[in-house]
Amino acid sequence: MVEVQRPLGEIVPAMVDENGKMCGFVHSFETGAAVDGPGMRFVVFVSGCQFRCLYCHNPDTWKLHNGKQKTVDEVVAEIGKYAAFLKMTGGLTISGGEPLMQAHFVGEIFYRVKQQYGLHTALDTQGFLAAHLDDSWFDNVDLILLDIKQFNPERYEKLTGKPLQPTLDFARRLQKMGKKIWLRYVLVPGWSDDFDDVEGLAEFVQSLGSIVERVEVLPFHKMGEHKWEELGMKYELGDVEPPSTEVTERVRDQFRARGLNTY
């Protein structure tokens, strides 16, 4: 077991419904997703997140109870409708929100899906709460879609509302466990496009070695801005435009220069 300093924040205790069935809160399902791991994915978006990222396009997932209560049995049965297809073409991804907030619920889904359907599994997370979980929790997870949103600690906290170090600690822990990573980096002009910040992150990611299968540089967009307005919240990045093609390629080239498979 790797010793990791525990971060701020807690995971939600295991929950059961009135029939004693393990349950949790699900925001939505997506079938046929092509951008959340290898191949075609069934994506479970769970509710609850302790981050408050300024560019978040799903602020409606922040509050746990904004989702619909579902049992593990119900979620696994829904995945099962597509299991034969998914086994040939892709697999299951659990995203959010932040899945590790409901680690008991999410972990049981991963276990059941592996046992019943033998699907490839991926977890989309920033890893902030991972230090509360034993290494064995990740036994049923094949791939981590790891969000590192900035490499400068001060800018990271201004962007997300939380400290960076627990995420970096989690990445090192994944390295020790030999878990495969797809790194995700959202490129926000004025927030995460600084040359030196990107260089620092690229150097760190390179140091993780062969577990990093690819880096995805994701240009900022404002498709979720209307959700902020609907929730009565101010969208702080309303005046920020998507990054230019030139800046996007420059950032991708910084990762490529480190020998990283970058898109």
Neighbours of 181 (CB within 10 A): 20
135, HSE (Cβ side, Cα atoms, 13 Å): 13
pLDDT score recorded for residue 243: 97
What gap in Å lies between CA 23 and CA 1, rounded to an integer? Answer: 28
pLDDT score recorded for residue 225: 87
Q: Which helix (H) or strand (E) holds 7?
A: none
pTM, entire model: 0.94
Mean pLDDT, 10 residues at a time, over the chain (263 residues)?
44 94 97 94 97 92 94 98 97 97 98 98 98 97 98 97 97 98 98 98 98 98 88 92 97 98 98
Kindly report the CATH class assigned to 15-256.
alpha beta
CB 168 within 8 A of CB 223: no
Q: Radius of gyration (Cα) for the chain, nearest Å?
A: 18
* Four-CA torsion 94, 251, 60, 20, nearest 10 degrees: 20
- C-alpha distances in angstroms, 173 versus 15, 186, 211, 220, 225? 28, 22, 11, 28, 35
Sequence spans of domains, the chain: 15-256
What gap in Å lies between CA 70 and CA 16, rounded to an integer? Answer: 10
Neighbours of 223 (CB within 10 A): 7
pLDDT score recorded for residue 9: 67
pLDDT score recorded for residue 94: 98
Q: Mean pLDDT in the chain?
A: 94
Q: What is the tens place of the pLDDT at every residue in 78-121?
A: 999 999 999 999 999 999 999 999 999 999 999 999 999 999 99
Collapse the DSSP code of 245 into the 3-class scheme (helix H, G, I; strand E, B; otherwise coil) and give the result.
helix
What gap in Å lies between CA 112 and CA 134, rounded to an integer? Answer: 18
Q: Which helix (H) or strand (E) holds 23?
A: strand 22-33
pLDDT score recorded for residue 223: 83
The rounded percent of the chain whose pLDDT value lies above 90 is: 92
